[in-house]
Amino acid sequence: MPGADTAAEARPGSGGRAPHQLPRGRHGLTRERVAQHQRERMLRALAEAVAEKGYAATSVADITNRAGTSRETFYQQFSSKQDCFIAAYEAAAGKILKRLREASQPTGTPLERFSHAITAYLDALAAEPSFARLFLVEVYAAGPDALQNRAHLQRRFVELLAEGLKANGPTERFACDILVAGISAMVTARLAVGDIDGIRNLAAPLTDLVGQALSAAGGSRP
Q: Which CATH number, 1.10.10.60, 1.20.1630.10, 3.40.50.620, 1.20.1250.20, labels domain 4-78?
A: 1.10.10.60
Domain residue limits, the chain? 4-78, 85-216
Query: Which pLDDT belongs to residue 75?
Result: 96
Lowest model confidence (mean pLDDT) among 3-7, 40-44, 130-134, 206-210: 3-7
Q: Phi/psi of residue 167, each to 5°?
A: -90, 90
d(CA 184, CA 117): 14
Would the pTM count as exceeding 0.95?
Answer: no
CATH code, 85-216: 1.10.357.10
Q: Cα(9)–Cα(135) distance, rounded to whole angstroms?
A: 28
Nearest to 73 by CA among 146, 10, 163, 115: 10
Instruction: Using alpha carbons, select from 196, 174, 185, 183 the residue that is nearest to residue 114.
Output: 183
Residues sharing a CB contact under 8 Å with residue 56, sequence separation 6 or more, in sequence order: 141
135 within 8 A of 128, measured Cβ to Cβ: no
